Amino acid sequence: TMKEYLATSSVSEGTSKESAEEMVQTLVNDYSALIQELKEGMEVAGEAGDETSADMLLAIHTTLEQHVWMLSAFLK
């Protein structure tokens, strides 16, 4: 269920009472946390010799870094 998913997730559900800027900052924070988890996943995949998974995680990582950059620019 969604409740179980949120209990194990590294990101939390928003309250929907934040301002637009606060929502964007929350996205930046959440994406940054996911980027760190992806780095850890890439390391594990690399150590296991699973280059396909490491490459997939790198592609997701790159996309999230671009989103963080654009959202951070919006906040400035």
How far, in Å, are 23, 49, 53, 56 from residue 43 at the CA level?
30, 10, 10, 12
Do 65 and 35 touch, CB atoms closer than 8 A?
A: yes
**pLDDT tens digit string along 48-69?**
999 999 999 999 999 999 999 9
Reported pTM:
0.82
Is the per-residue pLDDT at 4 higher than 90?
no
Backbone angles phi, psi at 11, to 5 degrees: -115, 155
Q: Which of 44, 18, 42 is nearest to 29 (CA)?
A: 18
pLDDT of amino acid 8? 78
- Which top CATH class is 19-75? mainly alpha
Q: How far is Cα 46 from Cα 49, in angstroms, rounded to an integer?
A: 5
